Amino acid sequence: MLLSDPTVWEAQVRKARTIVDRDIDEAPKGDFVDSLIAAVRATSGDSSAVVQTLHAVKAAGRQVLKGVLAGDDEAEAQGRLDEALAEEDVRQALAFVRAQTVAAAYRESSNIEDLLDPCPEGATHVTLMPMSRDDIRRVERSVGPRPRLGALHHSHAGDRARRAGRQGKEGGGVGR
pLDDT, one tens digit per residue, over 124-172 is: 888 888 999 999 999 988 988 777 778 888 888 889 999 988 888 876 6
Is residue 117 within 8 Å of residue 123, measured between CB atoms? no
Average pLDDT, integer, range 45-64: 57
Is the pLDDT at 65 greater than 60? The verdict is no
CA-CA distance, 7 to 123, in Å (whole number)? 6
Residue 176 has a pLDDT of 47
Residue 41 has a pLDDT of 65
Confidence of residue 48 (pLDDT cuts 50, 70, 90): low
Burial class (CB in 10 A: 0-12, 13-18, 19+), 33: middle
- Which residue, 86, 88, 120, 87, is CA-closest to 102? 120
Residue 147 has a pLDDT of 75
Is residue 117 within 8 Å of residue 12, measured between CB atoms? yes
Handedness of CA 147, 152, 158, 162 (dihedral sign): positive
CA-CA distance, 20 to 14, in Å (whole number)? 10
CA-CA distance, 77 to 58, in Å (whole number)? 17
Confidence of residue 45 (pLDDT cuts 50, 70, 90): low
Residue 133 has a pLDDT of 94
Is residue 24 within 8 Å of residue 85, measured between CB atoms? yes
Residue 155 has a pLDDT of 87
Q: What is the pLDDT of residues 72-125, one digit of tens each?
A: 666 666 666 666 666 667 778 888 888 999 999 999 998 889 999 988 888 888
